[in-house]
Amino acid sequence: MSIIIELPEMHPVPGFKLGTTCAGIKVDERKDLVLMQFDKQASVAGVFTQNAFCAAPVHVAKAHLQVGNNQYFVINTGNANAGTGEQGMQDAQYTCEQLAQLGNTDSQAVLPFSTGVIGESLPVKKIVSALPAALDNLTENGWQDAAQGILTTDTRTKGASKQIKLMGKTVTITGISKGSGMIRPDMATMLAFVATDAPVAKNVLDKLLKYAADHSFNRITVDGDTSTNDSCMLVATAQADIETITETEQAEFSILQNAIIEVMEQLARAIILDGEGATKLINIHICGAKNAQECDAVAYTIAHSPLVKTAFFASDPNWGRILAAVGRSGVKALDINALEIYLDDICLVRNGGRSDDYTEQRGQAVMDQDEITIVVDLKRGNAETTIWTCDLSYDYVKINSEYRT
């Protein structure tokens, strides 16, 4: 398996190194083991899956994150180490212990992450045997190889990078992510790792990541399935020569937060563009709602409708499927005569039925596009939101039916 997709320019983050190697976890001679290294003075924040069957590495990573003084991430693909009981916990912990010995640090300084098939034992011997090679490969320019090394059913690598000015100095934000199926995060995404050299206090970084994830990774869905292994990590290495950001009220905090959201949004959208078998990116914008709950109810009912998603795959302007999804979204006392539904700027529904100026030809022109926006204006309040999803193709069924073969 060789997936090399041109990434944007991936600016190195001072104080953050990545090393990638082949451990032969599932497929021989493919990059499937990644290490990330940073100094103890770095601040580290994480958000994780809400799935009750969260994987062993998620449990261990959360526990080690609470201890602090973290220095390493170890990520394997090909095996999720989920649904593996106590043995899975021991395997995750053992991996941390072995890397800690090699890195001359404590096992709690290591956070493990896994992705791949659920319910199979982690091939610990293969991973441990490959750790020295990954350590030897550590470099601040290792983003491309790491982006490839964390993939499973993905068809492309996903990366984003941005530089901004803070306090007159250049600050870098760079990140990678993976995911294409089993995507409906309740915290972040399948796996995402973002680093900046800005100095940020730990409590402030926690708030920044939660907000950024809610406005990026928590706004995407491919199929409505929340993974057992979802993890999103943000590291601030404190290598930039500026004062530490200690308050969310600081102007520098807002600048940094907006830049990190931009990077994470690019990574999140890349996951949707790589949705298993996806051919179209669908933006769903809900406005005029009473509250955020109404927005999400309507948006995700549309996004998770197999009938809507297959219509988009076929480029079929069957707008009745969107109308039906809005109607069953659970919004109480919904005034169907007031709301409006659009494809891009083409009004589909007005006054409880098809808009007078809508034509099949105009609808077809939008449906033939690779990127489409659905707008639903509920006309009952000021709340609004946007989420991103994709169509549902033959290949989605093929990829997932053959996942373990």
Query: How far is Cα 104 from Cα 399, in angstroms, rounded to an integer?
Result: 42
The pair of three-digit structure tokens given for residue 50, joined into one six-digit string: 């809400």
- In order along its 405 residues, the chain shows pLDDT tens digits of 444 457 999 999 999 999 999 999 988 889 999 999 999 899 999 999 888 889 999 999 999 999 999 999 999 999 999 999 999 999 999 999 999 999 999 999 999 999 998 999 999 999 999 999 999 999 999 999 999 999 987 888 999 999 999 999 999 999 999 987 666 765 544 799 999 999 999 999 999 999 999 999 988 887 776 778 889 999 999 999 999 999 999 999 999 999 999 999 999 999 888 877 788 999 999 999 999 999 999 999 999 999 999 999 999 999 999 999 999 999 999 999 999 999 999 999 999 999 999 999 999 999 999 999 999 999 999 999 999 999 988 877 777 777 666
Task: Give me the catalytic one of 189, 228, 237, 301.
Answer: 189
Per DSSP, what are the bridge partners of residue 173? 162, 196
pTM score, whole prediction: 0.89
The b-or-e profile of 253-285 (16+ CB within 10 A means b, else e) is bebbbebbbbbbbbbbbbbbbbbbbbbbbbbbb
In this prediction, residue 397 carries a pLDDT of: 76
Reply yes or no on whether 153 is catalytic.
no
Q: How far is CA 139 from the centre of its chain?
A: 24
> Which pair of tokens denotes residue 116?
């791949």
Give the domains, in start order, of the chain with CATH numbers. Answer: 16-273 (3.60.70.12), 281-401 (3.10.20.340)
